[in-house]
Structure 1
Amino acid sequence: MQKKTIITGTGSYIPSEIVSNRDFTVHNFYAEDHKRIETAPQEVVDKFQQITGIAERRYAPSHLNSSDIATIAAQAAIEDSGIDPETLDQIIVAHNFGNVIKHTIQTDAVPSLASRVKHNLKIRNPYCVGYDVLFGCPGWVQGMIQADAFFKAGVAKKALVIGTETLSRVIDKYDRDSMIFSDGAGATVIEYKESDGSGILSSSAVSHCTDEAYYIQLGQSNFPGSDPRIRYIKMKGRKVYEYAIKHVAEAMKECMDKAGIDIHDLKKVFIHQANEKMDEGIIKVLYKLYNITTVPKDIMPMSIQWLGNSSVATVPTLYDLTLKGKVNGHRLEKGDIILFASVGAGMNINAICYRM
């Protein structure tokens, strides 16, 4: 039997605070030029939901930071796997802004979130190494790719990979794009062990950093007269959409081709929950690359409608929910071929082909 990287436990944290689209209808929105958008807020919100599919999102309570919710998801994954956390070789935490204390805009990543998670888990083993990954929304997938590489290099056998974010604390409430973002955490325990075929089959990652590098960045509030020293997450929505539609499916196909997987054998795609219409468009392009015009209706579980876009947390959270029967109409069975894929700031894209 051949050794492979196998997911042996999953966990996630779904914040308790529900923010519906109705909560944004009392906002005044402003454009990048700091001019007020004259369209009625209700109309802005309705159009937003039509495009993104988002009806509500979750925000973390004020007493919990990114490292705290990462720990909750990690504890669930460790319990699910049944491992002794002292046997972990690596703790990899993907995020973008570190800890951001509620009602502030200052990010804190010293010490690293991985160090904080290890501390919270009370792991004493000094050979359990924790480090962070900054790779935009594809950070959790990239953490999985890195751990798999360490396993194959013979320097680790067991890892905890987490995606965590509290984007609600870095959004500009005057910007329409602020309605996309949310909070959450997802985690997986992975082990390098003898496999009957299950495990990571292949991976793919690309970065486009010329004109695309600043499609998502930090910038001044859209509100006129705002303090230019205070910066919020900003996104060129149309540019991101066009980029993703053009490039993500290509990376997904490359990943599947590396593994020698026939598109007809693909059971599910766990794609970054960025925008419902964009994700649907990416899947259509993927199948078109294989000269297939009809996409299977049950190929793509979605959580964006009620969880919003929690960046690095979307893919592991969606996978955990699906595994545990919490996504209607979607089930996973032993031997199923699935694809993890993501796109985000950088701009970065990655994918993993995995057999259950």
Structure 2
Amino acid sequence: MIRSVILGSGSALPRQAVSNAELTARVDTSDEWIVERTGIRNRYIAAEDETTVSLATDAAHRALEAAGIGADTIDLIVLATATPDQTFPASATQVQHRLGVTRGAAFDVAAVCSGFLYALATADSFLRTGMATRALVVGAETFSRILDWEDRTTCVLFGDGAGALVLGAQDVVEDGPGILATRLHADGAHNQLLYVDGGVSTTGTVGKLRMKGREVFRHAVVNLAEVLGEVLDDAGVAVDEIDWVVPHQANARILDATARKLGLPADKVIVTVDRHANTSAASVPLAYDTAVRDGRIKPGDLVMLEAMGGGFTWGASLLRA
């Protein structure tokens, strides 16, 4: 039996940090309004020379360095993004080239804020079935490119960034590290609650992000609580055994409400939304790497990853670090 084990993590942020106070110079809003409703105090915005591919590559380099392995050992790259550098080819192939990887497969996954969970599950399947032995899983976004800066209810919520995990296929060891269980879901009936109003085959334009925040909030709390319960049942693990929950960093209110619904203490939830805002597919690996590097997540800890995004798509994955 093979299990996918995390060998290292890394993350990357654009050079420019933008505080709420700085944002008020271009948007009709206030620091108090943003913090009260979202918990966000800061976000990072990519410059013209910073792209999804460049951020993804930087995060990948740091993950490989943390794993202590060379890029030439990677035979699978799965990149989750809703903001690729080009319509095609896949941004993952550009990351592959920049890392100097010349073998294996590289492709993108599009599931918006749940994208990293979808990418992680895909890579896990490749490793467990023997189709790959070492995988690089990346979530990277430049959401600032698709924001409507005239819509103060959405533009204040998002930022840019990237996070990456290196996975290795290893024999299963009881109580050893690795991905233990994953569940993914989708429901396309709710497309109009969170979407971009453009597309190659419909308008020929990129479009801008549109969201009905109150409705998304309601669905998120219910869906995330349910999928977390499913994963715990699959793994045979009780809620109080979890050391850390690393959620998609959408909104502090969603994080609090989901934790309360599950009976999880707030001090077990990794929160970085105040620093990074919502970085879509990048938010889970970015938060994970932040918690590893500051010493909160330690080897042997049981960690639950979860996310929900446009589609709707949602999912969760339980792993032992």
- Correspondences of 1:196-275 after superposition (within 5 Å): 196=173, 197-210=176-189, 212-219=190-197, 231-275=207-251
Taking the TM superposition and a 5 Å limit, the aligned residue runs for 1:75-94 are 75-94=61-80
**Equivalent residue, structure 2, for 1:189:** 166
The one-letter code of the counterpart of 1:216 is: L
Give matches, 1:78-227, under 5 Å. Answer: 78-99=64-85, 108-125=86-103, 128-176=104-152, 177-196=154-173, 197-210=176-189, 212-219=190-197
* Shift, 1:195, TM fit: 4.1
State how many pairs are aligned: 314
| Residue 11 (1) aligns with residue 32 (2) | no
How far 1:19 moved relative to its partner?
0.9
TM-score w.r.t. the length of structure 1 is: 0.84
Quote the residue 2:252 is aligned against.
Answer: 276
* Deviation of 1:109 (Å): 2.9
Q: 1:178 to 1:28 in 2, by over 3 A?
A: closer
Residue from 49, 53, 66 that aligns with 2:35: 49
Cα 1:19/1:8, change in 2 over 3 Å: same
2:2–2:127 CA contact under 8 A, matched in 1: no
CA contact (8 A) 2:79 2:107 kept: yes
Give the 3-state SS of the residue equivalent to 2:17 in structure 1: strand
Q: Deviations over 1:234-275 (max 9, x none)?
A: 111111101101211100110011000011111100000000
Moved over 4 A (4+): none
More helix by share: 2
- How far apart, in 1, do the equivalents of 2:66 and 2:23 lie? 37
SS of residue matched to 1:279: helix
> 1:223 corresponds to which residue?
none
Q: Provide the C-alpha distance between the structure 2 equivalents of 1:53 and 1:280, rounded to a whole number of angstroms.
A: 11
Verify the 8 A CA contact 1:71 1:120 in the aligned structure 2.
yes
**Could you tell me which amino acid in structure 1 is paired with residue 296 of structure 2?**
R
1:207-258 CA-to-partner distances (Å, cap 9, x unmatched) read 1111x122211238xxxxxxx9672111111111011012111001100110
Aligned counterpart for 1:349 among listed residues 289, 293, 314: 314
Deviation at 1:27, TM superposition (A): 4.0
Give a deviation string over 1:9-41, Cα, whole Å, max 9, x none. 111002221111112323455xxxxxxxxxxx3
The share of aligned pairs that are identical, in percent, is 31
Corresponding position of 1:66: 52
Larger radius of gyration: 1
Any gaps of 5 or more consecutive residues in structure 1?
A: 30-40, 100-107, 221-227, 288-294
User: Contact conserved, 2:14 with 2:50, CA < 8 A, in 1?
Assistant: no
Runs of 5+ in structure 2 lacking a partner?
A: 199-203
Q: Evaluate the alpha carbon distance shift between residue 144 and residue 28 of structure 1 in structure 2; reply closer, same or farther with a 3 A threshold.
A: closer
Report the aligned-residue RMSD: 1.8
Q: TM-score, normalised by structure 2?
A: 0.93
Kindly state the Cα deviation for residue 152 of structure 1 after the two structures are TM-superposed. Answer: 2.0
Q: CA 1:61/1:27 → structure 2, altered by over 3 Å: closer, same or farther?
A: closer
